[in-house]
Amino acid sequence: MKIEQVEWDNPDAVALRARQRVEIAERYGTPDSEPGVPPSEADIAVFFVAYEDDGSAVGCGGLRALGAVGRGGAGGAGGVGEIKRMYVAPASRGTGVASRVLLALEDWARDQGWSSLRLETGDAQPDAVRFYTRSGYEPIPGFGHYADSDNSLCFERPL
């Protein structure tokens, strides 16, 4: 398996994000469950795709720069990023793909001098909550657009 940095409009990245949105719509019963501003080419700092040895794209994830904010949104020094569009194809779950994509995101963020990563996931995604807490992310109050979202669960990890 290899993890590659790709452009936002890379066909494999587009296809994986589309699959993620379909799965999220099924879980929440609506095609528009995004409580914040959807990520776009304009605001995603980096995007990675995980490829199996046969070349099939099986996972992805990106980062949005949030700027210099402190834990829980209190202000402070150091760049903070937000994990966006983490996804692993169902047939590849439990094989380490998500961990490898997350590691690539964290390494890239460290190289940029960022101090922590944040994320938002929904209350209908206990599998995501387990993954992120196992990976060292701790619950924080809702931040940004998620501060007033009843279904949002937010996490952060210092780098």
For residue 143, is it within any domain? Answer: no
| pLDDT tens digits for range 111-137 | 999 999 999 999 999 999 999 999 999
For residue 139, is it within any domain? Answer: no
Supply the CATH number for residue 37's domain.
3.40.630.30
Q: Which of 33-42, 56-65, 125-134 has the lowest mean pLDDT?
A: 33-42
The number of distinct structural domains making up the chain is 1
Give the domain range for residue 43. 2-114
Mean pLDDT of 90-108: 97
For residue 145, is it within any domain? Answer: no
Q: Which of 23-37, 90-104, 111-125 has the lowest mean pLDDT?
A: 23-37
For residue 83, is it within any domain? Answer: yes
For residue 159, is it within any domain? Answer: no
For residue 95, is it within any domain? Answer: yes
Q: Which long-range contacts (CB under 8 A, 24 or more apart) does 133-136 make?
A: 135/99, 135/102
pLDDT at position 92 is: 97
